[in-house]
Amino acid sequence: MTDLEYIQDRELLMLKEVIRICDKYEIEYFALGGTLLGAVRHGGFIPWDDDLDIGLKRESYNRLTEILNVELNEPYSLHYYENDKNHIYPYIRIEDSRTILRRENTTNKTEQALWLDVFPLDTVPNGNIRYNWWKLKLTVLRGLRNLSCFKKLVNINKAYTGIRKFIVIIAQNINFEKILNTQYLLKKIDRVLSKKSNGEVLIGNPMGGHWFKEIFPKEYYDNTVLLKFEDLEIKCPAHYQQILTKMYGDYEKLPEVSKRNWHGTTLVD
C-alpha cells in the first residue's frame, strides 16, 4: 500500500463515521468538490487526491457541529475557530490523531493530523449591488485570512500570476502573522456567510477551492442521490451534472498531470 492509498483508507474510515452520525440524527449532507467529482467520475477517490469534502446547509451544519462535540471519540476530534486557537479555516475539520501529515508545499512545512473538511452551504444575497458587496467583503476577508497564516497555509510552489504573484512575493518577506489575527478574521467571515435575509435564490460554498464558482440555484441542493464511493454509497446533490460542469467544465475528461490538484501532503506517522 502506498502512502497515498493509506491516507485515503484512513480518510474513508473518517467519512464512514461522519455518515454514521449524520444518519443517526437524520442530518442531510452532500459530497462537495473533488469528493463529488470522484464519486461521479471514479466511483471513489480521484486517484491522486488526498482529501475529502462534504457540505451541509447552515442549519444542519450548526446542528452537526454541536452533535460532533458529543459523538466523536478517539482518534477523531472536532476543530473550528471557537474551540481551537490554532485552527485557520472558516469551516470545521474532523481530524484523525493517529495519522500525521506534512504539507511540503508550505513555508513552514506544516505538520498536522489527517483531516476531513465539513463546509457550510449558505444562501447568497439577491441583487447585483448586494451580491457584489457581499462578494467583495468575502474576497477581502479571505485574502487577509490567507495572509494571517501565510506560512502555514499558502502553496508557495504554485505558479501564481498577476496580483496574486505580487502578494505572495510580499507575504514571503513580511510577517503578516504578527499583524493580523486569524481568529478574528474567521469570526468575521462566519458572520458574513451566515447572515440571512428573505427570498435568497442562490446557495453555495464560497470558501471552497473554487471560490464563487461554487454558488448555484438553491434547488440544486433540494434533493440527493446515492452514488458509489469506494465500498460505500454517499449522498450527492441530484443536480451534480450542472454543479460539476460549472466547476470543472468537461468533468469527465482527466486533467493534464501538471494540473492535477494535490495538497502537497506526505505521511509522517
Q: How far is CA 126 from CA 130, 141, 218, 238, in A?
A: 6, 20, 12, 24
| Predicted pLDDT of residue 160 | 64
What pLDDT does residue 97 have? 94
Report the b/e string of 42-75 with b at 16+ CB within 10 A.
eebbbeebbbbbbbbbeebbeebbebbeebbeee
Displacement of CA 256 from its chain's centroid (Å) = 23
Q: Is 224 strand, coil or helix? A: strand
Query: What sections of the chain are H helices per DSSP?
Result: 3-24, 33-41, 58-71, 128-148, 150-153, 162-171, 182-194, 240-248
CA dist 223 → 31, 37, 193, 220, 236 (Å):
12, 17, 22, 7, 8
Query: CA quadruple 158, 162, 164, 166: dihedral positive or negative?
Result: positive
pLDDT of residue 129: 94
pLDDT of residue 169: 75
Question: What are the backbone angles phi and psi of residue 63, rounded to the nearest 5°?
Answer: -65, -45
Q: Three cell numbers at 72?
A: 466523536
- The confidence score (pLDDT) of residue 125 equals 94
Asked if 105 contacts 264 with a C-beta cutoff of 8 angstroms, the reply is yes
| Its pTM surpasses 0.85 | yes
Q: pLDDT (tens digit, 9 = 90+) per residue, 104-144?
A: 767 667 788 999 999 999 999 999 999 999 999 999 999 99
79: β partners: 93
C-alpha span between 266 and 31 (Å, rounded)? 24
As a whole number of angstroms, the distance between CA 31 and CA 15 comes to 10
Give the mean pLDDT per block of 10 residues along the chain (269 residues): 92 98 98 97 95 97 96 95 94 95 76 94 94 96 93 69 72 83 97 87 94 96 98 98 97 83 74
Which of the 8 DSSP states describes residue 221? G
Output the nine-digit C-alpha cell for 191: 458572520
Domains in the chain: ranges and CATH? 3-124+200-267 (3.30.460)
Directed axis angle between helix 3-24 and helix 58-71, to 10°? Answer: 100
CA distance 54 to 212: 17
